[in-house]
Amino acid sequence: MCSPQVRHVLKGVNFQAKPWEILAIMGPSGAGKSSLLEILSGKLTPQSASIFVNQKPIDKARFKKISGYVTQKDTLFPLLTVEETLMFSAKLRLRLPQSQLSSKVKSLIQELGLSHVAAARVGDDRVRGISGGERRRVSIGVDVIHDPKVLILDEPTSGLDSTSALTDH
């Protein structure tokens, strides 16, 4: 029996994700879905766990380099434009000359369907900016700019209306 101050959010969790597979984790509120993703992304350290990548114990530093983690809540700079936001992320994550960085950012903006808002401020609750769906795609772009082998998305459609959640662009 657990002591009252210890609350096990995750216990006996076991799963396997295969290459090129999309894996969805579903469950009721408070079931530990976000906690599990935060552990996998290295943001939280579990009390005890065995995490393996390609049948080897996880190397947290290496996994952080090859993965991207998009949190539930968008954490973007509201006064930067979409293009500036993605360029900032590219400069932090990639060691490329400016011309290649620009080319990569422009290509990603097009791929994410954000060309029409590339020069618009991201915005937030206080600063008028792009729509919630566009903001969500910028958040994803920030984490896919370095072409991660693993992409972890925590509630990618959270806060979107049903049309925005279903629309490709």
Residue 8 lies in a domain: no
Residue 26 lies in a domain: no
Residue 138 lies in a domain: yes
The pLDDT, as a whole number, for residue 99 is 95
* Long-range pairs, 7-11, Cβ under 8 A, ≥24: 9/35, 10/35, 10/36, 10/39, 10/46
Tokens matching residue 55:
């049948």
When the pLDDT of each residue in the chain is averaged and rounded to a whole number, the result is 86
Contact yes or no for 121/81 (Cβ under 8 A)? yes
Is pTM, for the whole model, over 0.85?
Answer: no
Q: What is the pLDDT of residues 66-111, one digit of tens each?
A: 889 998 888 899 999 999 999 999 999 999 999 999 999 999 999 9
Report how many domains make up the chain.
1
User: Any residues with CB less than 8 A from the CB of 26 and at least 6 apart, and which?
Assistant: 33
Q: Give me the mean pLDDT over the 124-130 stretch.
A: 91
Residue 151 lies in a domain: yes
Q: Tell me, what CATH number does 69's domain have? A: 3.40.50.300
The domain containing residue 124 runs over which residues? 33-158
Q: What percent of the chain has pLDDT over 70?
A: 90
